[in-house]
Amino acid sequence: MLKTSARTLHVGTLNDCYYQPETAVCRTMGGADQPMLNNCRPDRCGNATITTRHRRGWEAARDDTERALVFVGLSDLQRTALRQHLSDVTKVIEGIDHAHD
Ligand code: SF4
């Protein structure tokens, strides 16, 4: 209880973070012992909280990814990575919408 109430909220564009080092995905990617919102995986990290306030940021990420996918000259690997990213972003948006149906 005390530990929970002592957590600090870190506000971000795509999510907020209630940082706990033992479950921080960014920390496993070589981050320091603090939130790394610029290297964040909010769709995969249990410390992330995504609300309707973040939906516009996810929409922008989806739009950017769709624009990138129409570039000619992408390698198959790049195109596959972008499609996976688009799928992940779309799932987050759907999750936001379903949470508030
Ligand atoms: S990955 Fe993102 S949500 Fe998770 S601990 Fe790091 S900054 Fe917070």
Give pLDDT tens digits for 11-67. Answer: 999 999 999 999 999 988 876 788 988 888 888 899 999 999 999 999 999 999 999
| pTM for the whole structure | 0.81
Q: Report pLDDT for 100.
A: 67
Q: Quick one: pLDDT band at residue 1, thresholds 50, 70, 90? A: very low
Q: Is 12 in the pocket of ligand 1 (CB under 6 A)?
A: no
Cα 9 to middle of ligand 1, angstroms:
11
Measure the CA dihedral 62/17/26/55, to 10°.
0
Residue 5 has pLDDT above 80, yes or no: no
Q: Among the residues of 1-101, which ranges form H helices?
A: 2-6, 25-28, 55-69, 76-99
Region of 62 on the Ramachandran plot (φ > 0 left; ψ -120 to 50 alpha; else beta): alpha
Ligand 1, atom 5, lies closest to the CA of 24
Cα 63 to middle of ligand 1, angstroms:
23
User: Using one digit for the tens of pLDDT, what is the confidence trace for 54-82?
Assistant: 999 999 999 999 999 999 899 999 999 99
User: Comparing 3 with 56, which gets the higher pLDDT?
Assistant: 56
Q: Is 36 in the pocket of ligand 1 (CB under 6 A)?
A: yes
Angle in degrees, CA 27, 65, 87, rounded to 5:
70
* Test site for ligand 1: of 7, 11, 13, 15, most ligand atoms within 8 A of the Cβ: 15
